[in-house]
Chain A
Amino acid sequence: MIKRIKQYGSIYGAFVSTSFSEAMSFRAHFVLLIVMDLVFYGTHLWSIDILYDHIHLIGTWRREHLLFFASVMLAINQLTMTLVSENYWQFPLMIRTGNFDFHLVKPVSSIFLTFFRTIRPGSMFNMAFTAPAVVYFGLQVDLGFWAWIALPFGIVLGFLLQNSLEMLFSCAMFWMIDGTGVNFIRIEFQQLARWPDFVYPSMLRGALTYLVPVLLIGSAPVRFLLAPSDFWPILGLVVFLLFFWALLGFFWRMGLLAYESASS
């Protein structure tokens, strides 16, 4: 087991190294990626701030609560952008061109090779924005000592659930060949998760919590951090995470059976 972890660790180290080399050879693009993410973060937070100039509450949340939630979602988004997002766009291209064949002949999990091959080093630097934003708004909502300890774990759990779901959606690309539509839907689901669960009407909230649990990505950790007695959603997140990871394995195998290689 330890040998296997070491093997995957060394492969991932090589992925990181090659991604950095590639990013450094296209410097303007590298800088633009950083600016692009910052522009998105800035406009998102500013929109919420402008909105609260005209209202006092959304549900029971004041400005600082929603800004804290938004900053946690941005931190999850930043992790996704850095570690996985590029691969969702490359995957359908590999299926269409038949380059996916090369992943199948290597003695490593094809899920690992597909979704963790490329990282975006530029987005990594944006942690310098998202981390202080989470801390700043965390201070504004008076997080307790244990909430501060739990905060990074909550963000990582949200990141893991988001990407388990998105990898599962991406399995559809095996059958659809072109992945644009799936990537479009994937991004729309990210939009749904960008707002707290209480915003949605009860039936929709139920569907987006228990069927396609995108609302747990941000709402479960934040609700737990704001009120530790509200721990059921985060427990649900962990259960769903395990469930969707198992489901991903099943659908991935089905997808591999449907994959027709370069002649498709």
Chain B
Amino acid sequence: MKVYLAKWGATMAVTWSNLLVYRVNFILQSIAPLFVFLLVKLSLWYRIYEGQPGLIGGYSFGQMAAYHLWVMITGLLVFNGNSQRISEDIRLGRITSYLIYPFSLWEFHGAGFLARTLLQTGIAIFTIFAALALLGGRLESPSFGPFVLGLLLAILGGVFWFWINYWVGLVAFWLEETWTLMVMLQIVTYFLSGAIIPLELYPEWLRTILLYSPFPYIAYGPAQLMMGNLEGVGRAFLVLGFWALVASWFAQWVWRRGLRLYTAAGI
């Protein structure tokens, strides 16, 4: 067990050094979400509320700003996949090593995902403090219990997203390029998860369908919890947990099917 964990630790260390090798790039990528939140989202919603005093979809301006802050934090914890690297490994025939080593491809990328998530958690903490400091009293500090539940749901969302990424990466057994598929999934997920606008503003029929999908529990669900709204928390964990299991099973199935096509000299 100790040796096995050491492999995860070593892989995580390699991922960290890869991520931090170009520090300016790392800093730019870290501050960009906060920059967009402050400049675009706050400005836009401020202007919207200026012409529409009162509540929009049940949200005051302060609540809407808080909602988007927590959606941004959730995004940092969820969207940590690396399907591009998996595709490259397959295309260039590099996965042969994982067929021989006592550390499989999913374990290698799982360790990378953990490393990225830990790093992103640090960035998320920095972002929360920066946003609270910059926005002063406009944002309410979250309550501890619901906030932790929100974080846990976001981490579960990250696990789901990891398996989706892994699955998309494995599509490289059949397709020469997979990044388009990933970007498409990301756009759809952003839209359906309530990351652009809260789900209360969506048409009723769409909201009803979405409740059974994993999407609302990736951004909207954690953000609601972080804002102290505990309604539907059990359902959120159940539905997202179910979809994470389905995604992991499906990814493993795709891996087994894809291996039959693998020639070790690249696809």
Q: A residues engaging B (CB < 8 A)?
A: 26, 28-29, 32-33, 35-36, 39-40, 43, 46-47, 50-51, 53-59, 176-182, 184-185, 188, 191-192, 195, 198-201, 204
A87→B256 CA distance, assembly (Å): 36
Q: Which of B24, B25, B175 contacts A29 (CB 8 A)?
A: B175
In the complex, the answer to whether B196 meets A47 with C-beta atoms within 8 Å is yes
B183: interface (CB < 8 Å): yes
In the complex, the answer to whether B26 meets A204 with C-beta atoms within 8 Å is no
How far, in Å, is B201 (CB) from chain A's closest CB?
A: 6
For A43, list chain B residues within 8 Å (CB): 187-188, 190-191, 196
In the complex, the answer to whether A181 meets B28 with C-beta atoms within 8 Å is yes
A and B contact pairs by CB, cutoff 8 A, 13 listed: A26-B177, A29-B175, A32-B180, A36-B184, A36-B187, A43-B196, A47-B196, A50-B197, A54-B56, A55-B48, A57-B52, A59-B47, A185-B32
B27: interface (CB < 8 Å): yes
A53→B204 CA distance, assembly (Å): 12
Q: Which of A26, A46, A201 contacts B43 (CB 8 A)?
A: A201
Interface size on B, residues (CB 8 A): 38
Residues in B73-121 with C-beta less than 8 Å from chain A: none
A108→B47 CA distance, assembly (Å): 48
A33→B27 CA distance, assembly (Å): 30
Q: Which of B27, B184, B190, B201 contacts A54 (CB 8 A)?
A: B201
Which residue of chain A is the closest to B35 with respect to CB atoms? A188
Q: Which of B27, B39, B177, B188 contacts A181 (CB 8 A)?
A: B27
Q: Which of B28, B40, B52, B175 contacts A195 (CB 8 A)?
A: B40
Q: Which of A58, A176, A191 contacts B22 (CB 8 A)?
A: A176
How far, in Å, is B182 (CB) from chain A's closest CB?
A: 9
In the complex, the answer to whether A54 meets B57 with C-beta atoms within 8 Å is yes
In the complex, the answer to whether A198 meets B47 with C-beta atoms within 8 Å is yes
How far, in Å, is B146 (CB) from chain A's closest CB?
A: 26
Q: Which of B39, B51, B52, B202 has the most CB of A within 10 A?
A: B39
For A26, list chain B residues within 8 Å (CB): 176-177
B17: interface (CB < 8 Å): no
For B196, list chain A residues within 8 Å (CB): 43, 47
A76→B105 CA distance, assembly (Å): 41
